[in-house]
Amino acid sequence: MSGVLVVAESRQGALREVSRELIGAALGVKDEADGRVAVAVIGAGGGEHAAVLGAPGVDEVLTVEDAPEHFEAHVHGAALEALIEQEQPSVVLLGHTIDSLGFGPAVAARLELGFASDVTGLDWDGGPVATRGGYGGKVQVELDFPGKETVLLMLRAGAFEAPAENASVPARAVQVSAEPQTEHLGFREVEAGDVDITKAEFLLSVGRGIEDKDALPQFEELAESMGATLSVSRPLVDAGWVSNARQVGQSGKTVKPRVYLALGISGAVQHLAGMQNADTIIAVNTDPEAPIFRVAHYGAVVDLFDVADELAEQFPG
């Protein structure tokens, strides 16, 4: 076993950004893995992406075109198993994405591979060493994979650098036969609603900390008087209090406002993924260990309602 096999990801005809980040991570351990870096694109039309996936150090792009137009977890899984059989890689890299969640763990389980998901760091010490969060992100865990000839890792989007340069790389078509077990019926975009939080320059974002639906109007008013747009974290949408048009995070919108003021948001990974690139992040939370303080520029450990009342006086509207 040697080398790295990267599985690129595309959706609705477009290559997803994480794909090149995976290539960057693969190139980082290429010498230690003692072999080639091959990038696989599974899905009809994948050949079109081959050109974009090349980078200095990538040896080959493998295309598996005999697959449904849209992602199908079982076909992806069978194709990956066949590719692993053929390429015998020591490391397989997938994005920690919704699509990969549907087949990565299945392949690892069936082939009894080494496995870790939501990986944020990749090192080498006789074999791959993966870093990820533990206890809901409150500790950092290093995992190794003794006795495993192949290790499948799902890497967090945004955690690894994509290679700066492109390069032309030979592409090879691979035939895989696999039966889909689900049938695609269609896609649906989020309802647009009356607001586009991705365009807002100042977001006042509230989360689980507000505790009660009845508290919402207070923050709607505060947002208005501060000149901000109100956004929320996932639990408020799950509870049905707020439309998902206002949701920030992996399953909501990715925002990059000039100011992101987060009240009562602890900062689950999925939320951070949607706002960590804001120019200035201010977080108020009663838990001093809340993960949001790690990405915030300014933080305060105080009751959010007390701060909201005081802010309402500072911004009479």
Q: Which of residues 164-203 bind another protein (CB under 8 A)?
A: 181-190, 201-202
Coil/strand/helix, residue 209: helix
Q: Is 226 in the site for another protein (CB under 8 A)?
A: yes
Residue at token pair 């000039």: 258
Q: According to CB under 8 A, which one of 133, 149, 158, 162 is a site residue for another protein?
A: 133
Grouping H, G, I as helix, E, B as strand and the rest as coil, residue 169 is coil
Q: Judged by CB under 8 A, which stretch of 46-54, 57-65, 85-93, 292-300 contacts another protein?
A: 292-300
Q: Give the nearest distance from C-beta 20 to another protein in angstroms.
A: 16
Among 253, 264, 272, 275, binds another protein (CB under 8 A): 253
Residues 5-64 that bind another protein (CB under 8 A): 11
Helical pair 304-314 and 216-226, crossing angle rounded to 10 deg: 40
Nearest distance, CB of residue 43 and another protein, angstroms: 14
Give the nearest distance from C-beta 268 to another protein in angstroms: 8
In this chain, which of 130, 169, 223, 230 binds another protein, going by CB under 8 A?
Answer: 130
Stretch that binds another protein, among 31-39, 56-64, 110-118, 166-174 (CB under 8 A): 110-118
| Residue environment code for 224-251, b if the CB has 16+ CB neighbours within 10 A, otherwise e | eebebbbbbbbbbbeeebbbbbbbbbbe
Q: Are 94 and 22 in contact (CB under 8 A)?
A: yes
Tell me which of 20, 30, 49, 70 binds another protein, using CB under 8 A: 70
Separation between Cα atoms, residue 46 and residue 60, nearest integer Å: 14
Q: In terms of CB distance, is 55 or 284 closer to another protein?
A: 284
If the CB atoms of residues 103 and 219 are measured against another protein, the closer one turns out to be 103
- Residue from 247, 264, 265, 275 in contact with another protein (CB under 8 A): 247
Residues 296-315 that bind another protein (CB under 8 A): 296-303, 306-307, 309-311, 313-315
Contact 248, 256 (CB under 8 A): no
**114 and 151 in contact (C-beta within 8 Å)?**
yes
Identity of the residue, 136 or 170, whose beta carbon is nearer to another protein in the bound complex = 136
First to last CA, the chain: 65
Bridge partners, 104 (sequence order): none
Q: Give 61 or 152: the residue with its C-beta nearer to another protein.
A: 152
Token pair 């303080």 is found at 293
Torsion angles phi and psi, residue 98, rounded to 5: -60, -45
Q: Specify burial of residue 82 (Cβ count, 10 A radius: 0-12, 13-18, 19+).
A: middle
Among 32, 118, 149, 221, binds another protein (CB under 8 A): 118
Give dist(CA 275, CA 297) in Å, integer.
Answer: 12
Q: Which residue, 47 or 180, has its beta carbon nearer to another protein?
A: 180
Selected from 13, 45, 56, 136, the binder of another protein by CB under 8 A is 136
Which residue, 49 or 96, is less far from another protein as judged by CB? 96
From the list 32-40, 53-61, 68-76, 168-176, the region that binds another protein by CB under 8 A is 68-76
- DSSP assignment of 3-29 equals SEEEE--EETTEE-THHHHHHHHHHHT
Convert 200-211 to b/e letters by CB count within 10 Å (16 or more is b). Answer: bebbbbbbbbbe
CB of 19 to another protein, least distance (A): 14
Choose, by CB under 8 A, the member of 46, 89, 104, 264 that binds another protein: 104
Among 92, 116, 200, 203, binds another protein (CB under 8 A): 116
